[in-house]
Structure 1
Amino acid sequence: MLKLEDAFARKFQYLRLSITDVCNFKCQYCLPDGYKPEGRKSFLTVAEIARLTRAFAAMGTSKVRLTGGEPSLRKDFTQIIETVANTPGIEKVAMTTNGYRMAKFAKEWRQAGLTAINVSVDSLDPRMFHQITGQNRFHEVMAGIDAAVEAGFTQVKVNAVLMRGLNDGDLGQFLGWIKHNPIQLRFIELMKTGEMDELFDRHHVRGAVIKAQLLQQGWQQKIRAFNDGPAEVFCHPDYQGEIGLIMPYSKDFCASCNRLRVSSLGKLHLCLFGDYGVDLRDLLTDDSQIASLQQRLSDALVDKKATHFLHEGHSGMTPNLASIGG
C-alpha cells in the first residue's frame, strides 16, 4: 500500500486543503490591497474534494484542515465539512477562518463534523484589529469565538501574527485574556512572501524572543502529537489557556513537517514556499482514478526538499498566504 512518506522519512498525516482563495479581509501581511480576482476560477467541487480526501486518507492522512482565503465564503461549506468528516480514516476536521461568520454558523459546522477551529485575531484592541485587517469586525469575531465554545468546540485556537510597531506590545493583554479562558493562543512569526520584503523588514518579530520570555515566566513546553501542526505549545499552571508559537525561521523547523497542501484549484504543494504545484485535478473526475491519484502523490513526494530555504531569502512562488491556504 502506498504511503505518504518522503525521502527524509517524514510521514504526512495532515492535509491543509484550500477550498477558495477569496477573502473579504485585507490583512496587511496577506492581502493588503484586498482580494483581486484574476479571471473566472473553478474551485474544487464537493465531489472532487471527496475523492481527494479519500485518496489521502487511504495513504495515512488522519487530519484535514479546510482553509482559504476565507473558507466559509463557500455556500456549500457545511456540505464540504460533512463530506470530509465522513471519509473513513479522517479523525479530525479543522478550519482556519477570519471568524466573521462564526457566530451564525458555529453550531451548524459542529453538527456537520467540524472538530476544531482556528480563528485569526491579530489584536485585542478593536482599533488595531481594524488597522491590521482592514475590517471593523472585532466584536463580531469575538462573538464568534464565544459561539464556538458554546457550540461545544473544545479546540478553539486563536492566531495572531505579531508585528513590530503594530501589535507586538499586546503580548501582556493577550496573556491576560487566556488566564481564565481555555483557548490556545498562537503567535505566528511574520513570513516573507511575494513582494512583502519591505513589510517583513519593517515589522518582523523573532519568535525565539517570545519563546525566551515565556520560559522565563514559567511556561513549559508540551509534547507534540503526531498529527499536530508546526506550533510549539506551552502551558502554565496559573493559566487556563495555552500559548503556541509558529516559528518558521527557527532551527530545524522543517524536520518535523507532517503536512501537505492542496490549493483550491487542485494543485498539490509540497511546501508553502515551494517553486511549483503538481496538478491533481485531471485525476479527480472519476472514482476509478483513485489509484492513479495516489501514485501521483507518492511520486511527487520524491521531490520534497529537506527545508523551505527561508533563511536564504527564498520565498518560492507563493504570492500571498491566501493563494494556497497559508
Structure 2
Amino acid sequence: GIEKLRITGGEPFVRRDMMDFLRELCRMDGLKKVNITTNGTLTAPLIPQLKQFGVHSVNLSLDTLDKERFFQITRRDEFDKVMATFHALLEYEIPTKINAVVMDGKNTEDILPMVELTKKHPVNVRFIEEMPFNGEGSNHSTLAWNYRKILSHIQSGYPGIEKIPDPPHSTSYNYRIPGHQGTVGIIAAYSRTFCGTCNRIRITPKGMLKTCLYDDGVFNIRNLLRAGATDEQVRETFLEALGNRAKDGWEAEKNRKFGLPIQESMSTIGG
C-alpha cells in the first residue's frame, strides 16, 4: 500500500482549505510520512503548524540565490518570501531539500553558490536536469546540462566531493563534501536513469492518475469516484494501471496518445 504521501506545487497553499486537509492527512492510519513540495511564496507563516502536524519534510523549489535572476526566471518579485520560508524551515528543524532546475543560460552560475549552502546548513541541495515540461510542447533532443556535466562542474569547485549511498527508490545520485553539514544530489530527470527503481504514482489536481511524469495520464480517479465506483473497483483500477505502467520514461513518452509532444507545465502536474 501507500506509506508516503507528498503534496506538491507550485505552491500547494494557494488552496484555501489546505491546512485542514493537511492536518487530516497527517492523522491517517497507515501513512508513515507526509511531505510537501512548495515554491515557498506562501509557506513561511505556516511552518510552525507544519511542525505541529508532524510533516516529515519539505522540498523547496529554488533555482537561484540571486534576487534579480529569481525575478527573471519566475516573473515574480517574491525572492524574500522564499528565503523567509527557507530560514523558517531551518529554525523549526524540518528536514529540507532544495530543488534547483539547472537551465542553460539562466542559472548555471548558481550551482556552486547553492552547493555552498550545504556547508553551514543541514540541507540536501538537489540539482535537477531540465525537463520538457514548459507548457509549450518543446521537446529536447539534447540537453546542455545533463547530470554528468552538473557533477563535473561541482567537482571543479569541490574536488573532494564524495559519493554516498543512495536510499532505496531514490531519484537522485547523492554526494557529500567533507566538512559540510548537508549533502548534494543530482536528479537525472531527463536522462531518466532511475526509472528501474521508481515506485511513485501521481494524481493531478484534476484527478488524473499518472504512473510516470512523461505519460499523459492513465485514468481519472475523480470521474471514477463521482460515477459511484466502489472501493474494490477503485482498487482494481489502480492495480491494473500499476501493472501496465511503462518500463521507463522513454516508453511512457513514446506511448502518449497520438504521439503528441509534452504540452503540460510542471505547475499542472506538480513538481
TM-score (norm 1): 0.73
Provide the rounded CA distance (Å) in 2 between the counterparts of 1:103 and 1:255.
Answer: 36
Choose the corresponding residue for 2:161, options 205, 219, 231.
219
In the alignment, structure 1 residue 189 sits paired with structure 2 residue 129: yes
Shift of 1:253: 2.6
Secondary structure of the structure 2 residue equivalent to 1:146: helix
Provide the rounded CA distance (Å) in 2 between the counterparts of 1:63 and 1:152.
Answer: 20
Shift of 1:287: 10
Choose the corresponding residue for 2:212, options 271, 274, 277.
271
The share of aligned pairs that are identical, in percent, is: 31
In the other structure, the counterpart of 1:80 is 21
Q: Spell out the pairing of 1:226-265 with structure 2 (5 A cutoff).
A: 226=168, 229-250=170-191, 252-265=193-206
Shift of 1:111: 1.4
In the other structure, the counterpart of 1:29 is none
Q: Please say if residues 268 and 278 of structure 1, whose CA atoms lie closer than 8 Å, have aligned partners that are also in contact.
A: yes
Shift of 1:108: 1.2
Shift of 1:68: 3.0
Count of aligned residue pairs for this structure pair = 264
Q: Please say if residues 123 and 183 of structure 2, whose CA atoms lie closer than 8 Å, have aligned partners that are also in contact.
A: yes
Provide the rounded CA distance (Å) in 1 between the counterparts of 2:265 and 2:112.
Answer: 29
Deviation per CA, 1:259-299: give whole Å up to 9, x if none: 11111121211111103331112444599822221111001
In the other structure, the counterpart of 1:127 is 68
In the alignment, structure 1 residue 99 sits paired with structure 2 residue 40: yes
Provide the rounded CA distance (Å) in 2 between the counterparts of 1:285 and 1:256.
Answer: 33
Unmatched tracts of structure 1, length 5 or more: 1-59
Q: Spell out the pairing of 1:1-326 with structure 2 (5 A cutoff).
A: 60-153=1-94, 155-193=95-133, 194-197=135-138, 204-214=144-154, 217-226=159-168, 229-250=170-191, 252-284=193-225, 289-309=230-250, 317-326=262-271
Change over 3 Å in CA distance of 1:247–1:296 after alignment to 2:
same
Unmatched tracts of structure 2, length 5 or more: none
TM-score (norm 2): 0.87
Secondary structure of the structure 1 residue equivalent to 2:120: coil
Q: Please say if residues 214 and 253 of structure 2, whose CA atoms lie closer than 8 Å, have aligned partners that are also in contact.
A: no
Change over 3 Å in CA distance of 1:316–1:308 after alignment to 2:
farther
CA RMSD, Structure 1 to Structure 2 (Å) = 2.7
Secondary structure of the structure 1 residue equivalent to 2:111: helix
Give, as a single letter, the amino acid of the residue that structure 2 aligns with 1:265. Answer: K
Provide the rounded CA distance (Å) in 2 between the counterparts of 1:93 and 1:224.
Answer: 20
Change over 3 Å in CA distance of 1:229–1:261 after alignment to 2:
farther
Give, as a single letter, the amino acid of the residue that structure 2 aligns with 1:320. Answer: S
Shift of 1:173: 1.4
Provide the rounded CA distance (Å) in 1 between the counterparts of 2:266 and 2:205.
Answer: 13
Higher RCO, 1 vs 2 (CA within 8 Å, ≥6 residues apart): 1
Give, as a single letter, the amino acid of the residue that structure 2 aligns with 1:319. Answer: E
Of 206-215 and 255-264, the range deviating more from structure 2: 206-215
